[in-house]
């Protein structure tokens, strides 16, 4: 494909003028043909089941008359296909003269942070349930800002040594930019709006292109009007695989941690308040976070990224794991540390790995128990049901009848 021209050098006044003109004109974007995302290979549960969507004309009329938004771009052909982001559709790329080309459309997104349904996953033993104690059924619809109809944006996958081009199209009602968080790149590609580049105005396009010299788990997020734009959801994870890997995980998962202040009856997040009351893995709060299903014996890597304003100590039941990476890249083997909880500070990523020897239904959750709640501010005294950053890891046993045995204990004892 032909690379799109670089953004024109509009200054702040130009951007502001474009914003005013755009809102006066009520510009309309052409609808592209929608190619559905192809399921990624080698993932435990390919489930592009995110119920987020770029808002269609009908629902939009209530908010911004006359404006429509592009569906996800048809760049779904080539899939790296290794990293699985539960609840978020995968993103493919096109090749252009050796460059991997991704498209991110920044646009308003309406989705359910929680669909209000009890989890009916048959793998969770029903006999253990206490009515109303486990799961919060409040439906919460949110209108945020995301990429390609998704909050958070899709996980971008590439390989060290690749040159990637990311085409940002701005369908937001205000200027934006994308910062490549943790990436060592030329200054003019950093995406720090008003510092290294003018922000991309509404209706504008900006092309970022750079070579990837690192590997690991990184972030991307808006870097214009940051407090508001990040609080509305504009972020995602960028995974760079090493060209060669000694121990490839069988299951590779990315989870973006976000938090929201949602006031009763209002789908628009409060972007200035600090009483965060909804906490999400990939835009979903429990019980609406899809479970992670793996087979006993598989090597699992979980990549956590934090684009919220709190730290999240993420805890896994039934295992000790090894922390193997940060937003600075992989941790040398001698410096990896064993843990059952890994704290993920704001603006960081943490990768941890384990071999799923222990079959069963294991919880993965933030250990700030405040963050294991939905809308706690509204809950009266009494039972406080689980919600928020709570996910289930199902490790399917290789042999249903085999007795439980710790791997440290010799067989036959
Ligand atoms: Cu937390």
Residues 6+ positions from 412 with CB-CB distance below 8 Å: none
Q: Between 289 and 235, where is the model more confident?
A: 235
Confidence of residue 133 (pLDDT cuts 50, 70, 90): low
* Centre of ligand 1 from the C-alpha of residue 311, in Å: 6
* Centre of ligand 1 from the C-alpha of residue 34, in Å: 36
Q: Phi, psi at residue 163, to the nearest 5°?
A: -100, 125
Confidence of residue 299 (pLDDT cuts 50, 70, 90): very high
Quick: pLDDT tens for 384-394: 777 899 999 99
**What is the pLDDT averaged over residues 345-371?**
97
* Centre of ligand 1 from the C-alpha of residue 44, in Å: 25
Give the percent of the chain with pLDDT over 70. Answer: 76
* Centre of ligand 1 from the C-alpha of residue 159, in Å: 30
One-character DSSP codes across 127-160: GG--TTTS-----EEEEEEEETTBSSPPPEEEET
Burial track 27-36 (b if 16+ CB lie within 10 A, e otherwise): eeeeeeeeee
**What is the pLDDT averaged over residues 132-155?**
82
**What is the pLDDT averaged over residues 117-123?**
67
pLDDT of the residue at 345? 98
Q: Which helix (H) or strand (E) holds 95?
A: strand 94-96
* Centre of ligand 1 from the C-alpha of residue 398, in Å: 33
* Centre of ligand 1 from the C-alpha of residue 302, in Å: 16
| pLDDT at residue 1 greater than cutoff 70 | no
Q: Between 135 and 159, where is the model more confident?
A: 159
Integer Rg of the chain from CA: 21
The distance from CA 166 to its chain's CA centroid, rounded to whole angstroms, is 17
CA distance 76 to 401: 42
Q: Any idea where the domains of the chain sit in the sequence? A: 42-241, 251-396
* Centre of ligand 1 from the C-alpha of residue 1, in Å: 42
* Centre of ligand 1 from the C-alpha of residue 393, in Å: 18
Bridge partners (DSSP) of residue 366 are 314
Topology, domain 42-241: Immunoglobulin-like (2.60.40)
**What is the pLDDT averaged over residues 201-223?**
97
CA distance 265 to 389: 22
* Centre of ligand 1 from the C-alpha of residue 27, in Å: 39
CA distance 219 to 327: 8
pLDDT of the residue at 71? 75
* Centre of ligand 1 from the C-alpha of residue 366, in Å: 5
* Centre of ligand 1 from the C-alpha of residue 108, in Å: 25
- The mean pLDDT of the chain is 83
Quick: pLDDT tens for 55-81: 443 333 345 556 677 776 655 557 777
Tokens of 394: 């199902």
Q: 14, 201 in Cβ contact below 8 A?
A: yes
97's torsion region: left (phi>0), alpha (psi -120 to 50) or beta? left
* Centre of ligand 1 from the C-alpha of residue 315, in Å: 10
Pairing, β 312-316 against β 278-281: unpaired
**What is the pLDDT averaged over residues 39-59?**
40
Q: 75, 37 in Cβ contact below 8 A?
A: no
42-241 against 251-396: fold identical: yes
CA distance 268 to 110: 10
CA distances from 346 to 256, 317, 320, 327, 338 (A): 11, 23, 23, 11, 21
* Centre of ligand 1 from the C-alpha of residue 127, in Å: 28
Of the ranges 74-88, 139-153, 190-204, which one carries the lowest mean pLDDT score? 74-88
* Centre of ligand 1 from the C-alpha of residue 85, in Å: 19
CA distance 232 to 176: 12
> Please, what CATH class does the domain formed by 251-396 belong to?
mainly beta
- Total count of residues recorded for the chain: 413
Q: Which helix (H) or strand (E) holds 315?
A: strand 312-316
pLDDT of the residue at 410? 84
**What is the pLDDT averaged over residues 332-347?**
98
Alpha-helix runs per DSSP H in 218-262 = 226-231
Question: How many beta carbons lie within 10 A of that of residue 382, not counting itself?
Answer: 8
CA distance 72 to 150: 9
Quick: pLDDT tens for 301-332: 999 999 999 999 999 999 999 999 999 999 99
Burial track 100-115 (b if 16+ CB lie within 10 A, e otherwise): bbbbbbbbbbbbbbbe
pLDDT of the residue at 381? 60
* Centre of ligand 1 from the C-alpha of residue 231, in Å: 15
């Amino acid at each position: 494909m032909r690379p799109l021209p670089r953004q024109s050098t509009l200054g702040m006044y130009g951007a502001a003028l474009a914003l005013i003109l755009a809102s006066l004109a009520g510009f309309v974007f052409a609808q592209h043909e929608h190619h559905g995302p192809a399921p990624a290979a080698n993932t435990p549960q390919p489930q592009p089941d995110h119920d987020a969507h770029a808002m269609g004309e009908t629902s939009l009329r209530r908010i911004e008359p006359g404006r429509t938004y592009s569906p996800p771009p048809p760049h779904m052909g080539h899939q790296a296909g290794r990293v699985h982001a539960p609840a978020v559709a995968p993103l493919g790329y096109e090749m252009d003269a050796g460059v991997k080309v991704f498209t991110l459309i920044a646009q308003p997104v309406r989705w359910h942070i929680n669909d209000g349904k009890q989890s009916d996953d048959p793998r969770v033993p029903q006999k253990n349930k206490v009515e109303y104690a486990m799961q919060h059924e409040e439906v919460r619809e949110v209108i945020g800002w995301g990429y390609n109809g998704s909050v958070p944006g899709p996980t971008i996958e590439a390989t060290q040594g690749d040159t990637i081009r990311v085409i940002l199209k701005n369908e937001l009602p205000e200027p934006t930019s994308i910062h490549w968080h943790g990436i060592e790149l030329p200054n003019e590609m950093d995406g720090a709006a008003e510092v290294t580049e003018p922000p991309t105005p509404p209706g504008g396009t900006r092309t970022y292109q750079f070579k990837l010299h690192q590997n690991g788990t990184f972030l991307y997020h808006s870097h214009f009007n940051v407090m508001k734009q990040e609080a509305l959801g504009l972020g995602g994870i960028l995974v760079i695989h090493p060209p060669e890997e000694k121990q490839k995980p069988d299951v590779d998962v990315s989870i973006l941690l976000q938090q929201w202040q949602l006031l009763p009856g209002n789908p628009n997040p409060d972007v200035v308040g600090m009483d965060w009351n909804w906490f999400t893995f990939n835009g979903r709060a429990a019980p609406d976070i899809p479970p992670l299903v793996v087979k006993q014996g598989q090597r699992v890597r979980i990549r956590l990224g934090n684009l919220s304003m709190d730290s999240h100590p993420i805890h896994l039941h039934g295992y000790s794991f090894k922390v193997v990476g940060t937003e600075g890249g992989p941790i040398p083997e001698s410096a990896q540390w064993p843990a059952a909880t890994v704290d993920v500070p704001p603006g960081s990523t943490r990768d941890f790995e384990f071999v799923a020897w222990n079959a069963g239904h294991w919880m993965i959750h933030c250990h700030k128990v405040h963050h294991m709640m939905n809308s706690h501010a509204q809950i009266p005294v009494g039972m406080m049901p689980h919600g928020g950053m709570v996910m289930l890891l199902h490790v399917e046993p290789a042999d249903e009848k085999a007795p439980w045995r710790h791997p440290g204990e010799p067989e036959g004892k």
